[in-house]
Amino acid sequence: MLVREYGIKKIYMGRMDHGSDLLKSLEEFVIEKGIKTGIIQLVGAATKVGMAYYDEEDKVYYPISLNKPVEIAKSIGNISIKDGKPMVHLHITVSDEEGNAFAGHLTEGTTVFAGEFSIIELEGPELVREYDDITGLTLWK
């Protein structure tokens, strides 16, 4: 297990723009603010969703797209460094009009209907992602 310790530097509370791309907008905000390490969460609604499922045998992400309005019941993740710049890693759980839930690794292609996010910026050692041979993922080193 790899563990590092952090303190809380700042907390941002924000509202997403209607029609924006969820992941892209958050990545732009994080880069603009220079947030290198953090915890991120969001609730809201989306008009369509882009996410992915990581196939552990094939070691590739397979896209899942939902082209219907949904609640963003919960989206949670983190911010760390990948390829020298901050990367937002988010998973998302959405629900439809019957309360059915769909979930996955958030990708670009999720259009925000409305969204409220919180970002806890952390201070401490750099958290850097590197390719991991065993999983095929870029994990914290």
Q: What distances in angstroms separate CA 38 from CA 6, 67, 81, 97, one per listed residue?
A: 9, 30, 10, 32
Taking a C-beta distance cutoff of 8 angstroms, is the pair 23, 31 a contact? no
Question: Is the CB of residue 106 less than 8 Å from the CB of residue 77?
Answer: yes
Tokens for 77, please give them. 């993740």
Nearer to Fe ion, 33 or 105 (CB): 105
Beta bridge partners of 95: 71, 101
**Which residue has the CB atom at the shortest distance from Fe ion?**
105
The least distance separating Fe ion from the CB of residue 113, rounded to whole angstroms, comes to 23
| Residue 103: strand pairing partners | 93
CB of 61: closest distance to Fe ion in angstroms? 8
Token pair of 89 as six digits: 């890693």
Q: Which of 19, 29, 6, 34 is nearest to 112 (CA)?
A: 19
Alpha-helical runs (H) found in 56-115:
none
Residue of 9, 33, 48, 105 that binds Fe ion (CB under 5 A): 105
Which of these ranges, 6-14, 36-44, 62-70, 97-105, lies near Fe ion under the rule CB under 5 A?
Answer: 97-105
Is there binding between residue 82 and Fe ion (CB under 5 A)? no
Shortest distance, CB of residue 53 to Fe ion, whole angstroms? 10
Given the complex with Fe ion, which of 31 and 103 has the nearer CB atom?
Answer: 103
Only segment of 38-46, 63-71, 105-113, 117-125 that touches Fe ion (CB under 5 A): 105-113
Instruction: Provide the minimum distance between the beta carbon of 105 and Fe ion in the complex, in angstroms, as a whole number.
Output: 4
Residues of this chain that bind Fe ion (CB under 5 A): 105
